[in-house]
Every structure is written in structure tokens, then in C-alpha cells.
Amino acid sequence: MKILLPSIYYPFIGGISIHVENLIKNLNKIDSFEFHILNYNFDVTIENSFENVTVHKIPYFSKLRGPSYILNGYKLGKKIIKNEKIDLIHSHYAAPQGFLGAVLGKKCNIPTVLTLHGSDVLNLSKNTFGKYFFEYALNNSEKIICVSEFLKTNLKTNFNIDSNVIYNGFDEELFNPSNNDCDYGLFVGSLVEQKGIFYFLESIKNIDFTFKIIGNGPLYNKILDFIKLNEIKNVELLGPKTQAEVSEYLKNCSFLILPSVSEGLGMSIIEAMACKKAVIGTDVGGIPELIKDGINGYIVYPKDTKVLEDRINMLVYNKNLRKSLGEEGLNYSKNFSWRYSAKKTYEIYNSLLTE
């Protein structure tokens, strides 16, 4: 089975890259595949870890990244479809990737799948310019996959689009139970507005405890300036880390905080639970599907820095509470598996190719 994947991918480190990598890894355990990824032409090159994956670099202009990716991706995508006899297109994120996949699918008459990851539904769909690309991708993809029930409901309510829910999983080789507790709170995620990072910083500045931030993104320098301006001494900005490095930080942390104001699901929460760690998240998107308040973690309202500070303090001063919440989280994490996600995705592929 030959699959074309319009998607952001490594060397960019983020939720979608991790998702695609784990999906490929587990699909390979089910059947024989050949994958062709239409990725941005990033300056940095890393070694591809799969023999059956070809990463095609799509040139783009930084100020017109989306349109230039679509234009150049369309030209190259048509050649790949013809030369490699592609069976199916599976795009990740609505636009520009999903738009490109939908256009190629219609032009070359091959089935298309679109996975929506969160901010495309919650933010892009409301953007004056992006809304057109979002709706075209939705209406011209045969199958839609959402990573949470929240996104599925949103699609049905606002766009009358039916979809399938396939949750993210976690890499069981990397994220597994740990009893280590090195007395620090951890944030893992892209440094973008929707992750609520400044509310997190506001909530911890008066807490006598160490905190670490893992991630990269457009707010990196702004966060550094905020830390210096507010003289926040108890936080360390670590920058981007590999999944192996993230797993070590998670295994040694005391708890994870994800203070998002918008979120599709929250992969770092699943990974933290798999490491037997307590978690704090906000009442947005798919996060309440993961955290049961007071059982395997705490849910707070987004932007509520006082309540967030209170919940963090509860975990700072009560190691037994951290442990009990972490144990419940570990049990709950067993509901999420990349093997299962790949199996459900494979069933969708087969249904389309059979039709």
C-alpha cells in the first residue's frame, strides 16, 4: 500500500511530527507500506529512521508559507502520484496540508483521508483567509479523523461534517512508569499562544519550587523577556528536546502542567500519565477526556492563574498526592495505544480502497 502524506515532519519537533512517526511505525507492523511525506524544506536535515519512508522537501517562502507549499507541493505531488502509483492520500492538519491533499486527490482521482489535530478546527476555521482552505479540505476529503470527541462534536455542530475519532497514543518504549521524583514541575509543548504559557509563568512566580519548560516556537524570545522582566528565578527554559529526552524529563519530574487556552487533545498529558505522573490541565478541548478532576489529576479553568497556582501548590507540598494521582493516571493511560490507533487507521484505508 503506497501512501502520500502531506504533513509537517521532522526536523520540526511537535505533536504532528510525533503523531506521524508513531502512526508509520505501527502501521508497518500491520502490513507492507511505502510512505511519501510532503514536508516543508527545512534548512536542517536529520536522518530518516524508516527504510520505507521518503521525505520530499517542498520549497516555500517564509512570508507565504502556506500558498507556496500548496503550489510547489501540487507540482511535486502529481509527479509522485504518477511515478510511484500512490494508492491513497492521508493529510495531517487542514491547511495547507489538507487542502493540498484534497486538491491532489480530486485531480488524480484517488481517495483522501484528513486527520484534524486541534488548532486547525479551533483557530484556522475562524480565520478570514484560512476558513476557505479549511472548508475545502473538509468537504473534499472522503474520510475525516479527529483526535478527540471534542473536535468531532465541534465539526458536526459547526460544519455538519461526520468524522471518526482516533485518539493519539504514546510510545510505550519511551514513556513508561517511573517512581523518580526530582522535585520539579514540567511543561512540554509548542511555545504558541494557545498553550497558555504566560498564565503558567504568572501562576508559578511566587511558588518556592523549580519548574522547567520544554519546547520551541514563535514565543521563545518573548518568554525569555517575560521571565527576565518579572524576575522569575524558579523556571528554566530548556528549548526543544527529542522524544527520548522528553521521556527522561517526564520520568524525573514531580508533575506536568498543560495550561492551554485551546487544545485538540494534549499528547503530553497521555505521555505523563504513562510515566505515572500527576497532571494539571485546563477545561478546554479534549483535555477533560483525559483528566478526571481529583482522580488522575486536576482540571482548572483556562487563564485562571489563582486556581492554577493553588492546584500546583497542592502538588508541591504533598508528595503522597502526586503519587496517588500518578498511579490513577498510569491506569488511565492504558486506554491509549498507537497500535490501536494504527489499527483503526488501517481499517479506514482498507474501506476506502475497497470502495
DSSP-based three-state secondary structure for 105: helix
Instruction: Say how far residue 50 (Cα) sits from the centre of its chain.
Output: 21
Provide the 10 A C-beta neighbour count for residue 227: 18
Provide the 10 A C-beta neighbour count for residue 79: 10
Q: Which CATH superfamily is domain 184-333 in?
A: Glycogen Phosphorylase B; (3.40.50.2000)
Whether CATH 1.20.1250.20 fits 2-169+337-354: no
Among 247, 255, 258, 249, which Cα is nearest to 318's?
A: 255
C-beta of residue 209 within 8 angstroms of C-beta of residue 185? yes
- Predicted local distance difference test score (pLDDT) of residue 49: 82
Give me 96's grid cell: 495547507
Task: Please report, for the chain, the start and end positions of each structural domain, with discontinuous segments joined by +.
Answer: 2-169+337-354, 184-333
Looking at this protein, which amino acid is placed at residue 54? T
Q: What is the pLDDT of residues 218-256, one digit of tens each?
A: 999 999 999 999 999 999 999 999 889 999 999 999 999
C-beta of residue 296 within 8 angstroms of C-beta of residue 266? no
- Predicted local distance difference test score (pLDDT) of residue 42: 86
Give me 83's grid cell: 511515478
Q: Which residues, other chains included, contact 175 with Cβ-Cβ below 8 Å and sequence gap of 6+?
A: 247, 250, 271, 274, 275
User: Would 2-169+337-354 and 184-333 be classified into the same CATH topology?
Assistant: yes
Q: What is the pLDDT of residues 56-104, one digit of tens each?
A: 999 999 889 999 999 999 999 999 999 999 999 999 999 999 999 999 9
